[in-house]
Amino acid sequence: MSAAVYITVKLKQNTILETNRNVCFGATTWEEERFMLVRQDKLKDIGEYVRDFVDQFINDYLAANPQAADDSQLIKGTGTIRFSEVEGGFYSIHADTGEEYDPINLASSYAKDGIRVKFTVRYRPDMVSIHMSGKIVEILKIEKLEKPRQKQ
């Protein structure tokens, strides 16, 4: 048995007309939506779809509002999310290049061991961590990859 599910996530903001600054109204400035059929035993997974939409909004926002920074601190690549039990447990990104990154802002929907990702991060040499594992980074963009890494 399946259920029809329609998910819509919108960002609404107060908007002022340039031609008449006294007119203010709510406007949708970002929106994602999806219709799907979900098996009843998978209904509990709907929250994951909503989290993915929120992650997409964050990525879109960061892409449209880049922070002024030294581009030499940007790192792009692909890798795998890994869980470590050190210091109470944390998730890091193990890049395909062999580098390990300790993200300060990994979204909960990506906090799962074994997820393959494509990422853009900013190296944060101004920060320290108790994890003692890899370079500390701020995630600017991250997306799940569908296919597992091919063994060589």
16-52: per-residue pLDDT in tens? Answer: 877 877 778 888 888 888 888 888 888 888 888 888 8
Q: Which two tokens stand for residue 52?
A: 């993915």
- Report the distance separating Cα 141 and Cα 138, nearest Å: 9
Residues 6+ apart with CB under 8 A from 115: 80, 81, 144
Average pLDDT over residues 98-117: 93
Residue found under tokens 């039990």: 85
Report yes or no on whether pTM surpasses 0.75: no
| 71-144, CATH topology level | OB fold (Dihydrolipoamide Acetyltransferase, E2P) (2.40.50)
Give the pLDDT score at 151: 58
For the cut 70, the answer to whether the pLDDT of residue 152 exceeds it is no
- Report the distance separating Cα 115 and Cα 92, nearest Å: 11
The helix/strand/coil state of 54 is helix
Q: Name the residue with higher pLDDT: 125 or 90.
A: 90
Q: Which two tokens stand for residue 17?
A: 């007309």
Domain parsing of the chain, residue ranges: 2-64, 71-144
Each residue's pLDDT tens digit, 50-61:
888 888 887 777
For the cut 80, the answer to whether the pLDDT of residue 71 exceeds it is no
Give the pLDDT score at 80: 97
- Report the distance separating Cα 138 and Cα 121, nearest Å: 5
Average pLDDT over residues 119-148: 87
- Report the distance separating Cα 147 and Cα 74, nearest Å: 25
Number of separate helices (H) and strands (E) present in the chain: 1, 7
Average pLDDT over residues 2-19: 84
Q: Contact, 49 vs 9, CB < 8 A?
A: no
